[in-house]
A and B are shown apart, each in its own frame.
Chain A
Amino acid sequence: MFENFVNLYHGFGIAADPFNILLMVVGILLGVIIGVLPGLGGANGVAILLPLTFSMSPTSAIILLTCIYWGALFGGAITSVLFNIPGEPWSVATTFDGHPMARNGQAGEALTAAFTSSFVGAFVAIIMITLIAPLVAQFALQFGPAEKFAVYFLAFASFVGMSKEPPAKTVVSMMIGFALAAVGLDMVTGQLRLTFGSEELLNGFDFLIAVIGLFGIGEILLTMEEGLEFRGKAAKIDPKIVWKTWKTLPKYWATSLRSCVIGCWMGITPAGATPASFMAYGVAKRVSKNGKNFGNGEIEGVIAPETAAHAAGTSAMLPMLALGVPGSPTAAVLLGGLLIWGLQPGPMLFVEQSEFVWGLIASMYLGNIVGLILVLTTVPLFASILRIPFSIIAPVILVICAIGAYTVNNNTFDVIMMLVFGVLGYVLKKTNYPLAPLVLAIVLGDSAEEAFRQSLLSSGGSLGIFFSNGLVSSIMAIGLIAGIWPVISFLIAKVRGGTAQTA
């Protein structure tokens, strides 16, 4: 355990390199812009900028990308509070109390609370990663194909069980992702699958295109329904407001702690930042003494979801690094990036590329601090971007998305696919099909399938291999429980309910 801290110290040395610090600043700024502009999102922004990093060293590249991710997390809070437009799916819960606070003239307090909570949530998550990441990595070395598949199964089952969309829709979404991942060359047999003779489909569907289309274009189309403009409340961050709010925040330490735990848990079991924020909000509402006032501008209603969302977003890095299983769509994009750079996430990453891993973890600490300072000082600037009229900013976003889509494979067909995914994203979102499982399935589809086939090969076709030893059985069991959780909690409620009515 002690060597972790030695490694971390070395990691700081790498992270504190001036070029890398510059990248952090640039990354956070870009990320905030991306998060603030509805139409670009965390996953989308990282996806678009991914090809730009090919010329950098992997450590620098991933520092840039994770800082963009962070910036986007902060950015989503800005638009949620000021404009009631969640810049990110996980900022939706922040609008519930954040925007009412802005309407009451407390925009500064709301933003300060949001940013500080985000910082706290992410920080706690990073500490957790520092302490247990190598443990998880070592533990992951015991993983064979069956165990690996069990982890994927757990990840996907958690989505089905924990998301608020109907399970049948989550499953369809996920399966569509798997099917799309299967298109193209089959690695094992060398055959072409599901291409139906089309040359364009030879390479299959790249997850980056899907992300840019689903989350980027789809989001713009959705925003269009509300009309061509965003009106918002002007905001200045006045330093005195920051101090005043900071003095009131420690009162809510319990909410904060609870939300951190919820966030860390949901980030690791890949449920992601969005469910984490909703869950934290819901729990805080039920537990707090001001619960009834939630929705009218309670500062606690901002603290809870923001802490959880950032804790989850950050801890999503952990399963990605240690097990190769991303905890959120953005982590999935980062995972894709790692694979492109030739880094194989998983236990071996800690052994073979420990310099990279600890550099990354150290940069998370630094990036978080840099981020907080940056956002607190530059909020008015970003708020003013939103004042750029939609008819100017929308086509620019579309151009950026198109450029992003093209640069993935230097293929203009991908730009067309991006649009198709965009329409798909719009329609699916409006009919309540969750998009996150789709993206996760596209990224993980091939790996999950490979693990599945390898397991079956060694067991001669028997599904029993997934319950053949303690480790794999317990993971599968947790997965099954997570997957049918709605049924379980329904039954528990029935047993407990009897004559009791829910409020």
Chain B
Amino acid sequence: MHEAPHVAGSGPTQRYAEIGVAIATLLFGLIVVYGSVLVGFGWSSDGPQAGFFPFYVGVIIIGCSIINLVQGLRENPEKLFSEWGQLGQVLKVLIPTTIYVALVPPLGIYVPSVILITVFMKWLGKYSWPLTLAVAFGVPAFFYAALERWFMIPLPKGPVEALLGL
């Protein structure tokens, strides 16, 4: 395993992350148990009810989440989950991707893909406009040709494609 050769900066600690995840899974377990209770988790006349299996699954999740929570509390408070800088890098990808995914239902896949590639190449990669646009239009065009025409798999399209008659 390799350590990155930089001086440890600051950032959220591993301890908080572990505690956070344990609490999150605990909540998830509670939701599962609640959902199981809603449909009935016991034994009816013809066997286990729909909620039987998920109920116990939820219970186990809650139990183990508590174990993980305790372990998390014991975690070394010095260890970092990530440095802020690293998280910033992650967000540089995550935020554009989130916007991309949010744009897919209204606009289809092709148009947001063009935008996403453009954003990455221009903003993050600082490439020239000709190259950026070439790839940004080229890649979705390639997929359009390969998927829509060759493999006959329709992808979601939006108003722009309707305008263009695709």
Contacts and interface: CB of A to CB of B under 8 A. Distances in A.
Contact of B94 (A221, A406, A418, A449): A221
Given A179-B32, A221-B90, A392 B151 contact: no
Interface in A147-186: 166, 168-169, 171-172, 175-176, 178-179, 182, 186
Interface stretch (A317-325, A354-362, A452-460): A452-460
Contact of A427 (B21, B49, B124): B21
A370 interface: no
Interface string B67-105: 110010000000001100011011011101110111011
A194 B100 contact: no
Given A224-B89, A391-B121, A457-B47, A168 B67 contact: yes
Interface residues of A, number: 65
B25 A172 contact: yes
A179 B54 contact: yes
Contacts of B82: 225, 430
Contacts of A188: 47, 50
B159 interface: no
Contacts of A344: none
Interface stretch (A15-23, A378-386, A397-405, A483-491): A397-405
B60 interface: yes
Given A406-B109, A416-B101, A453-B47, A193 B121 contact: no
Interface in A407-458: 407, 410, 412-413, 415-416, 418-419, 422-423, 426-428, 430-431, 433, 449, 452-453, 456-457
Contact of A55 (B49, B139, B151): B151
A175 B47 contact: no
B61 A402 contact: no
B17 to A, nearest CB: 5
20 contacts: A55-B151, A168-B71, A169-B68, A176-B25, A179-B28, A179-B61, A182-B53, A192-B39, A196-B35, A227-B89, A391-B125, A395-B113, A402-B100, A412-B156, A416-B102, A418-B101, A428-B21, A431-B18, A431-B21, A457-B48
Majority-rule SS of A interface residues? helix
Given A168-B68, A171-B64, A403-B155, A226 B35 contact: no
A59 to B, nearest CB: 19
B125 A419 contact: no
A392 B21 contact: no
Given A392-B120, A457-B48, 6 more contacts: A166-B71, A172-B68, A399-B113, A402-B109, A403-B147, A431-B18
Given A176-B61, A399-B140, A461-B43, A182 B92 contact: no
Given A168-B68, A392-B121, A191 B57 contact: no
Interface residues on B, range: 35 or more
Interface in A189-206: 189, 191-194, 196
Nearest to A179: B32
Given A391-B124, A394-B93, A175 B104 contact: no
Nearest to B52: A453
Contacts of A189: 49-50
Interface string B17-43: 110010001001100100110010001
Q: Which 7 A-B pairs have the closest CB atoms?
A: A391-B125, A194-B35, A168-B67, A395-B120, A225-B86, A186-B50, A168-B64
Contacts of A395: 96, 113, 116-117, 119-121
A391 to B, nearest CB: 3
B48 A456 contact: yes
Interface in B114-146: 116-117, 119-121, 124-125, 127, 135, 139-140, 143
A402 B71 CA distance: 36
A427 B14 CA distance: 11
A106 B9 CA distance: 35
Contacts of A390: 125
A282 interface: no
Contacts of A141: none
A399 B50 contact: no
B120 A217 contact: no
A52 interface: yes
Contacts of A423: 94
Nearest to B75: A431
Contact of B139 (A172, A394, A396, A430): A396
Nearest to B66: A168
B61 A172 contact: yes
A105 B82 CA distance: 33
A399 B117 contact: yes
B90 A452 contact: no
